[in-house]
Amino acid sequence: MKKVRPQKYDRSIYGTFGQFFTHNNSPVFYLNTALPIDNINWIKPVRDILNISEVDFDELVQRNLDDSRIKNDISQYLITDKGYKFFPPIVSAFVAPTEKKDSIKNRYPKLKVRFEETVEGKVVKIEFEDSFILILFVDEDNNILNTPVELRWKSSGISLMAVDGQHRLVTLKAIRGLLDSDDEKAYYKSLEEHKSILNDIDIPTTILFFPNSYQDLSEGSEEILDEVFPNSGWLENEQKDIKEIIRNVFVDVNKNAKTPSESRNILLNEKDICAIFARHIFSTIKEIDKNTYSYLLDFDSPRNKEFQIDQNRPIITTIGIVYRICENLFKDTKGDRRKSEDGNALRARLNLYDLEFDSESVKLEDLTPFDFSYSQRRVLLEQFKKSWTQTFVYFYTHLLPFKKLYISMNKSFEDWLEKTRKDSLTDDETKIYSVLFGGSEKRFFLQQNAKNRGVEYNDYRFLFKKLQNKEKEIKESIGNHRFFFSQMFQSAFFEFLDFILSSPTIDYKNSWLEQEYLDSIINILNKYIEDKHNDSLFNFENSINDLLFNGRSNPSQKKQELVATIIKLIAFNYKREISENPFINKFNVISDFIDELNIECLDIIDKNMTDSLEKEFKQNIDIRQLVLDIQKAKNDKLVNEIKKLESDYKKN
């Protein structure tokens, strides 16, 4: 076939065409081909297409890159000279970013399909207006021929985004020296010396697009599609957003690859309703003030730290903590244990019983956090928006310590803008602020480059130290509120709400808290924190707090229950004697109930204190005995015994 490129399509490639679908109305079209190594820049990772710091968490279509894994693992596979090498195909999909680059467009442009006679023979052209076009040869009966297929596209209007294999993609770009960002180039600098090993390779590539995701269909196109692809189905009312297709196709597949961090799975998981809820909570909070909350919400925690908050950084919470709270609320069991999950908590918490909710695939009585149809997903999320979203948002934006941190962080952002307007920023300040408000990947590259040895990385070390000082300054400006920036406290608060909603004695019948009731709870907690924080059990410097929460004698779940108990005491008793407790007034709680609850709560605290003291005392006795045993073993020169005893000592 003679290669002809209309001017509007500046890129073209040939390959083998295929289609893949198991159900009607969900076809995936693909082209298998090979890209010369220096054309690998035609494919982009997500972060080169979208402005990640602006992206709504509901819009993410791919997990963030693990640059450490690329540099220290995948690249070494290619660089070492042992054995044969091969990368499986990099899978990319056509996507178009929005003007702000904060998401990808839900649909391709208008679809026009037509037959044409050419010198080489009859073809069918599948064209998405001003974006890309697929050209296939057909026989006289309009059956697709087994001949090379041409795909053309306009690089300024559509992007090839890596949806599977983006780590391999960046590995190849890093070695070849084809990265765009200066920070990335600095981080991967050592790999470029191996550039020549890729001189003669072609990259196996699969390009996808989703023909049933279009804005409009030109006249006559549907008939041609039904004729050429008779079993695919083209019903507009069954269309899905491109990002949701990508998630459905690739997140499940990638679960069996090298395990990503829990936070990355949460950001993409379409099969777990709690992950969908957690993303929505983060997106809603971020929308209040993208510049500030983009940093205060940690959505990309390192592996095994998804449920921890770095106390030296100005972070309110993590996606892992919010997800875990959603699990506590909406799952009958914690974690992905489908066999014991019956969906009762989900149906009750969202009050689904009054909704018309059945579908052909999943009935209401079979609905669980893991089993729901596509249409039910929409209804579940809408119901969550009406019920629980505001509870999470109000908690994370109005509880006093969180509000103080937002104000402090926002002041730093305003200072940055003011200095920028006055052109009074030093080069170092410009770089620090751009990292502070530029998203987690900028911080990652600065941190990793600061770890490198060599004079050329001195600037990175200097800047990272200044960034850490700035972060610590912001966090310390709000006072000693570390207790609230923990999974323990945040989960305990929602455990307290669960108590309020489920208590038969409290006169409140809804499945979630309405705004005025929630406001009364946050109000009394804020009063207490403001008036009594230094003397309270919420202060880590309090000796009783240290006994109850910092020792190893209490497991984390028990500590969470203990915090929920303390919240009960505050909510029901603070300023009760002078009738200035808005919580009691709003819920109209009777005194007898409060008195009984107080006895129960104080007993729990007393028992925990007694248990902690006993365990601490026993632990101290055990440690003293170990010291004596080690000394005796040293006197007797029992080498193996010394090693064992010293190991036990370190554990204690």
Q: What is the pLDDT of residues 307-349, one digit of tens each?
A: 888 888 999 999 999 999 999 999 986 544 444 567 789 988 9
3-class DSSP state of 11: strand
Gap between the Cα atoms of 98 and 49, Å rounded: 10
Gap between the Cα atoms of 33 and 364, Å rounded: 45
Q: Per the domain annotation, does 267 fall within a domain?
A: no
Q: Are residues 455 and 502 in the same domain?
A: no
Q: How many domains does the chain have?
A: 5
Q: Using the CB atoms, write b or e for 292-321: b if 16+ within 10 Å.
A: bbbbbbbbbbeeeebbbbeeebbbbbbbbb
Consecutive H or E run containing 94: strand 90-95
pLDDT at 338 (0 to 100): 42
Q: The whole model's pTM is what?
A: 0.69
Mean pLDDT, the chain, as a whole number? Answer: 83
430-437 LR contacts (CB < 8 Å, sep 24+): 431/463, 432/463, 432/466, 432/467, 432/470, 435/463, 435/467, 436/295, 436/412, 436/467, 436/470, 436/471, 437/53, 437/291, 437/292, 437/294, 437/295, 437/413
Question: Can you say whether the dihedral through the CA atoms of 547, 552, 556, 557 is positive or negative?
Answer: negative
Q: What is the pLDDT of residues 561-592, one digit of tens each?
A: 888 999 999 999 988 887 888 888 888 888 88
Q: Per the domain annotation, does 196 fall within a domain?
A: no
Query: Taking a C-beta distance cutoff of 8 angstroms, is the pair 449, 460 a contact?
Result: yes
Question: Which of the four pLDDT bands, split at 50, 70 and 90, describes residue 560?
Answer: confident
Q: Percent of the chain scored above 70 by pLDDT?
A: 84
Q: What is the pLDDT of residues 260-281, one digit of tens each?
A: 677 778 887 888 999 999 999 9
Q: Are residues 486 and 472 in the same domain?
A: no
Domain-ending residue, one of 221, 256, 291? 256
Neighbouring C-beta atoms of residue 147, cutoff 10 Å: 15
Q: Per the domain annotation, does 186 fall within a domain?
A: no
* Token pair recorded at residue 7: 């001017």
Domain-ending residue, one of 348, 364, 392? 392
Q: Are residues 23 and 135 in the same domain?
A: yes
Query: Taking a C-beta distance cutoff of 8 angstroms, is the pair 175, 87 a contact?
Result: no
Q: Are residues 466 and 565 in the same domain?
A: no
Q: What is the pLDDT of residues 198-227, one digit of tens each?
A: 998 999 999 999 888 888 888 988 889 888
Question: What distances in angstroms separate CA 21 from CA 18, 27, 543, one per listed residue?
Answer: 10, 5, 63
Q: Are residues 212 and 239 in the same domain?
A: yes
Q: Per the domain annotation, does 193 fall within a domain?
A: no
Domain-ending residue, one of 334, 367, 392? 392
pLDDT at 550 (0 to 100): 63
Structural domain harbouring 609: 482-615
* Token pair recorded at residue 85: 């090498």
Q: What is the pLDDT of residues 50-72, one digit of tens each?
A: 877 667 666 665 656 778 888 88
Question: Which residue type occupies 431?
Answer: K
Q: What is the pLDDT of residues 448-476, one digit of tens each?
A: 888 888 888 888 899 999 999 999 999 99
Q: Are residues 464 and 498 in the same domain?
A: no
Query: Taking a C-beta distance cutoff of 8 angstroms, is the pair 397, 288 a contact?
Result: yes
Q: Report whether pLDDT(517) > 70.
A: yes
